[in-house]
C-alpha cells in the first residue's frame, strides 16, 4: 500500500511521488491577513472563525496581540484543510484533539469515538507571521458510518507495506525577532548562549560560540570560515578585525557580522531541536532535552530579497545534519532546514520507517482560494466578499 508524507504550508502543493511515499508541503504568510487590532473585528475574520471549533475560537480570542491571533487562526484552518483532504471527509466532520495530554499533547485527528486515527500524523508551526504544516498520510483504509462520518480503521496491512508509526515535526524561527541585542552588547555572545544551558549540551553551546559557517559582507560577498581564521573565536560586537580574502584582498571586518552569523547558527540549532521534540509532541522541558544533540550543523544561506511583486523566496536547504540522543546516533530520523526569505528558517523532521522518503519543497497556498473556498464548498456556504 502506498504511503504518503506531506508537508504543508499556505498554498496547495502539487503532490510528487517518492520511492515509498508522497510528500507535499504548505506555508502561509499571515502578516497581511485580517487587518486591525482585534481579531473578531478584522474584515473576514469572523467568517473564518466560524469554520473552526468553539474551543479554538475561545483560545484565539484570548491572544493579547492580533498577530498571534492571526497565526493561530491560520494554523487551525490549515490543519482542517489537511485532514479533510487527506482523509477525504467533509470539513464539518473533521475532529481535532490531542494525543496523551489533553492540554499539551500533539494535535491529532480523531474519529467519532475520540480515538486517534491511525496512519495520519501532522505538525504545525507558526512564527513571525508565517505558518507551516508537515503531514504524513499512510493511506490506511477507514470505515465510515451511513452518514459518511469516519469511525475508525478497517484493518492494518502487512508491516512491510505500511507503517502507522511515522511521526513528523516542523518548526519556524525568525533570526531577527528577538530581544537579545542588549545582552550581547553588554555581556557578549558567550554569556547570552549560556542562558540556554537547560536546552543545549556543553558541546552544542561551544560550537555556537566559537564556530562560524560563513559571514556575509555588506556587498553580499561571502567569507568562508577558513578566511576568517581564528576570528571565529570573536564573541563581542563592534570590533574591527583584519581579514584577508582568498583573492588576497585585505579588508577590515566589523565583528557584528560574525555575531550575526553566529546568531543565525544558534537559531539553526534551535529550529532543529524544536522540530525533533515536536515529533512526539514533547516540550522544551523534556527531561532528555540536553541529551538530544546535533552535529554537522550548518546554517542555510538566506534567500535573495523579495521579488518585485513582494513575494518571498526560498533559500538554501541543508539536509545532512546528524542527530544523537544519549550519545547514540538516531538512525530512523531525517531532518532538514531551509531558509525562507532573508530572516526565516523552516526545519522538518520525519521519524519511523522512512527509507527512501524525501521531504519535498514547501508550497505556498492562498487562504481564500485554497482554504476558505474549499471549506465553503463543503459546507455549502456562500463566501462573504470583503473589500
DSSP letters spanning 59-81: HHHT-SSHHHHHHHHHHHHHHHH
Instruction: Give a yes or no: residue 309 inside a domain.
Output: no
Distance CA 239, CA 234 (A): 9
Distance CA 9, CA 4 (A): 16
Instruction: Give a yes or no: residue 52 inside a domain.
Output: yes
Distance CA 320, CA 207 (A): 17
Instruction: Give a yes or no: residue 319 inside a domain.
Output: no
pLDDT at 176: 81
pLDDT at 96: 94
Residues of the chain whose pLDDT is less than 50?
1-4, 6-25, 152-161, 387
Please check whether residue 125 is in contact with residue 345, taking contact to mean a CB–CB distance below 8 angstroms: no
Please check whether residue 81 is in contact with residue 11, taking contact to mean a CB–CB distance below 8 angstroms: no
- What's the gap between Cα 321 and its chain centre? 16
Instruction: Give a yes or no: residue 318 inside a domain.
Output: no
pLDDT at 17: 23
Instruction: Give a yes or no: residue 108 inside a domain.
Output: yes
User: What's the number of domains the chain is made of?
Assistant: 1
Dump pLDDT digits (tens) for 163-204: 667 899 999 999 987 667 788 888 899 999 999 999 999 999
Domain with 362 in it: what CATH number?
3.90.470.20
The cell numbers describing 387, all together, are 473589500
DSSP letters spanning 308-375: TT----EEEEE---EEEETTEE-TTEEEEEEEETTTEEEEEEEESS-TT--PPPPEE--IIIIIIHHH
Please check whether residue 11 is in contact with residue 374, taking contact to mean a CB–CB distance below 8 angstroms: no
pTM higher than the cut 0.85: yes
Q: Is residue 19 left, alpha or beta, with left meaning phi > 0 and alpha meaning psi from -120 to 50?
A: alpha
pLDDT at 40: 95
Domain that holds residue 49: 4-166+352-379
pLDDT at 287: 86
Q: Assign 136 to helix, strand or coil.
A: strand
Instruction: Give a yes or no: residue 41 inside a domain.
Output: yes
Instruction: Give a yes or no: residue 82 inside a domain.
Output: yes
Instruction: Give a yes or no: residue 243 inside a domain.
Output: no
pLDDT at 384: 60
The cell numbers describing 287, all together, are 527531561
Amino acid at each position: 500500500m502506498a504511503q504518503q508524507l506531506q508537508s504543508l504550508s499556505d498554498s496547495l502543493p502539487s503532490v510528487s511521488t517518492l520511492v515509498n511515499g508522497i510528500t507535499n508541503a504548505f506555508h502561509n504568510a499571515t502578516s497581511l491577513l485580517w487587518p486591525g487590532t482585534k481579531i473578531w473585528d478584522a474584515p473576514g475574520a469572523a467568517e473564518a472563525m466560524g469554520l473552526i471549533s468553539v474551543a479554538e475560537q475561545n483560545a484565539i480570542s484570548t491572544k493579547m496581540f492580533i498577530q498571534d491571533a492571526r497565526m493561530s487562526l491560520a494554523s487551525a484552518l490549515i490543519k482542517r484543510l489537511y485532514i479533510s483532504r487527506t482523509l477525504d471527509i467533509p470539513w464539518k466532520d473533521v475532529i481535532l484533539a490531542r494525543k496523551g495530554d489533553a492540554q499539551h499533547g500533539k494535535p491529532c485527528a480523531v474519529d467519532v469515538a475520540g480515538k486517534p486515527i491511525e496512519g495520519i500524523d501532522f505538525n504545525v508551526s507558526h512564527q513571525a507571521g508565517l505558518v507551516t504544516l508537515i503531514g504524513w498520510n499512510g493511506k490506511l483504509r477507514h470505515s465510515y458510518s451511513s452518514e459518511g462520518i469516519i469511525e475508525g480503521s478497517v484493518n492494518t496491512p502487512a508491516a512491510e507495506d505500511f507503517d502507522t508509526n511515522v511521526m513528523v515535526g516542523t518548526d519556524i524561527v525568525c533570526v531577527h525577532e528577538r530581544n537579545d541585542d542588549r545582552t550581547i552588547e553588554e555581556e557578549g555572545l558567550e554569556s547570552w548562549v549560556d542562558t540556554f544551558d537547560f536546552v543545549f549540551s556543553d558541546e552544542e553551546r561551544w560550537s555556537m560560540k566559537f564556530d562560524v559557517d560563513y559571514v556575509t559582507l555588506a556587498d553580499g560577498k561571502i567569507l568562508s570560515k577558513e578566511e576568517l581564521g581564528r576570528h571565529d573565536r570573536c564573541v563581542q560586537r563592534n570590533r574591527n578585525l583584519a581579514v584577508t580574502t582568498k583573492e588576497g584582498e585585505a579588508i577590515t571586518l566589523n565583528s557584528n557580522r560574525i555575531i550575526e552569523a553566529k546568531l543565525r547558527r544558534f537559531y539553526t540549532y534551535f529550529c532543529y531541536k524544536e522540530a525533533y521534540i515536536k515529533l512526539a509532541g514533547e516540550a522544551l522541558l523534556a527531561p532528555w532535552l540536553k541529551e538530544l544533540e546535533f552535529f554537522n550543523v550548518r546554517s542555510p544561506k538566506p534567500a535573495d530579497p523579495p521579488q518585485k511583486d513582494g513575494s518571498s523566496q526560498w533559500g538554501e536547504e541543508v539536509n545532512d545534519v546528524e542527530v544523537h540522543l544519549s550519545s547514540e546516533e538516531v538512525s530512523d530520523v531525517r531532518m532538514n532546514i531551509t531558509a525562507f526569505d532573508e530572516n526565516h528558517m523552516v526545519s522538518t523532521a520525519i521519524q519511523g520507517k522512512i527509507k527512501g522518503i524525501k521531504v519535498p519543497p514547501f508550497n505556498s497556498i492562498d487562504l481564500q482560494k485554497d482554504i476558505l473556498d474549499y471549506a465553503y464548498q463543503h459546507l455549502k456556504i456562500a463566501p462573504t466578499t470583503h473589500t
